[in-house]
Amino acid sequence: MFEEKIDYWHNPILPDMELSHARFQHFEFEQHVHLDYHIGVVTQGGQKYNHKGEKYLLNKGFISTLNPDESHNGQSINDEAYQAFVMSVPVDYAKQIANELNIKEHFFAKPLNHDPDIYNHFLKLHSMLTQPQTLHNQLQIETTLMAFCTELFMRYGTSNVNNKSLNLSQESLFNIKERFHDEMGNSFQLEQLADSIGLSKFQFLRQFKAATGMTPHAYLKRVRLEYAKKALAKGCNMVDIAHKVGFFDQSHFNKAFKNAFLITPSHFQKQIK
C-alpha cells in the first residue's frame, strides 16, 4: 500500500532553511501561503496547483518558484502518485542576494518555469543539503547554495540586475589560490575567505568564479585531487593522502577521485606503479 508522507530536514550549517521530500497520491494541500520563498520540483508524476487565478502543472524538468505570502494549493495531476522535493529560502537570505545584485527588492516573476538545467542543479543541491554534514563541508554548501539562488533570481526575478564591477584583484586572487595550495588539509569558510580580501561573501563568490570559471570550493577540490594523484603515484598510503589533502572521509575521497578521473584511487595506484 502506498504511504503518503513528508520528511523534513534542517541543515545545521543553514538552520533557517527548511527542506522536504514528499510522496503523495490522494493528499491535497488546501489554499495556503508561506513565509519564505518556496522552490520545488517533482521527480515522479506531477502536481497541479492554482496560483492567482491561474492553473499550473508541475512536471519533470520544471521548477516551481513561489514568493512569500502568495496563496496556492496543490494536488496530484491524476490518480497516480507524485514525488516532490522542496526547499524554503528565508526572506533575509534572499534580501542579501538582492543587495549584492544591487536590487531594491526581488520577487519571482512567474510561479513556474521550464528549465532542465536549473532543475538538475536543484536536485543535486537538495541531496547535498539533506546528507549528514560536518564543518569541513561548509565551503561546498555555502558556495553551491549561493550560486544556485543567485542564478535562480537572476533568471526568473522581476528586477534587472546591475552587475557590479570586478573588485577581486589579481594579487588577492593569487593569495587565495596560494592558501588553497598551502593549506589544502584545512577547512575553509566562505565568509572568512571573503573577509581576508575585503569583499562580502557574495561578491567574492561571483568574482572568483568570473576570474577562474570555478567556484572556490570546486577549485579547492580539484587542487586536493591533483595533489592526491601525485602522492598516489609515489606510492603513499591512501588513507594518509585523503586526510592530508582535506578529505576527512575515505568514501568521499574515493567518490570525488573517481568522478574526476574515472578510476578509483586504489586502481589508479595499481596502474601507475
**Model confidence over 71-82: pLDDT tens digits?**
889 999 988 899
Q: How confident is the model at residue 273 (pLDDT cuts 50, 70, 90)?
A: low
- Domain boundaries, position 255: 169-273
State how far the Cα of 24 lies from the Cα of 64, in Å rounded to an integer.
17
Tell me: do 34 and 118 sit in the same domain: yes
Domain boundary among 104, 125, 156: 156
Report d(CA 232, CA 221) in Å as an integer.
16
- pLDDT recorded at residue 35: 82
Q: Is 100:151 a contact under the CB 8 Å cutoff?
A: no
Stated pTM of the model: 0.69
Torsion of CA 118, 124, 126, 127, to 10 degrees: 170
**What integer pLDDT is reported at residue 105 of this predicted model?**
63
Please report the pLDDT score of residue 13 as a whole number: 77
Indicate whether 138 and 16 sit together in one domain: yes
The C-alpha cell that represents 131 in the structure block? 546528507
Asked if residue 117 has pLDDT above 90, the reply is yes
pLDDT at 120 over 60: yes
Return the pLDDT at 161.
47
Over residues 34-52, the pLDDT tens digits come to 888 999 999 999 999 998 8
Do 95 and 72 touch, CB atoms closer than 8 A? no
Whole-number average pLDDT of the chain: 87
Domain membership flag for residue 164:
no
d(CA 254, CA 246): 13
Asked if 197 and 259 sit in the same domain, the reply is yes
Residue 166 in this model has a pLDDT that exceeds 60: no
User: Would you state the pLDDT for residue 160?
Assistant: 47
Q: 7 forms bridges with which residues in the sheet?
A: 21
pLDDT in tens, 122-144: 999 999 999 876 656 788 888 89
Domain edge (last residue) among 107, 122, 156:
156
The answer to whether the CB of 233 falls within 8 A of the CB of 272 is: yes
Task: Kindly tell me if the per-residue pLDDT of 33 is higher than 90.
Answer: no
Q: Are residues 53 and 26 in the same domain?
A: yes
C-alpha cell at 222: 580539484
Q: Which of 156, 191, 225 is the last residue of a domain?
A: 156
Can you give the CATH number for the domain in which 100 is found?
2.60.120.10
Highest mean pLDDT among 12-26, 102-116, 231-245: 231-245
pLDDT of residue 104: 63
In degrees to the nearest 10, what's the CA dihedral of 240, 245, 249, 250?
A: -50
Separation between Cα atoms, residue 106 and residue 4, nearest integer Å? 34
Q: Same structural domain for residues 199 and 123? A: no
pLDDT at 40: 96
Q: In the numeric block, which cell numbers belong to residue 219?
A: 577549485
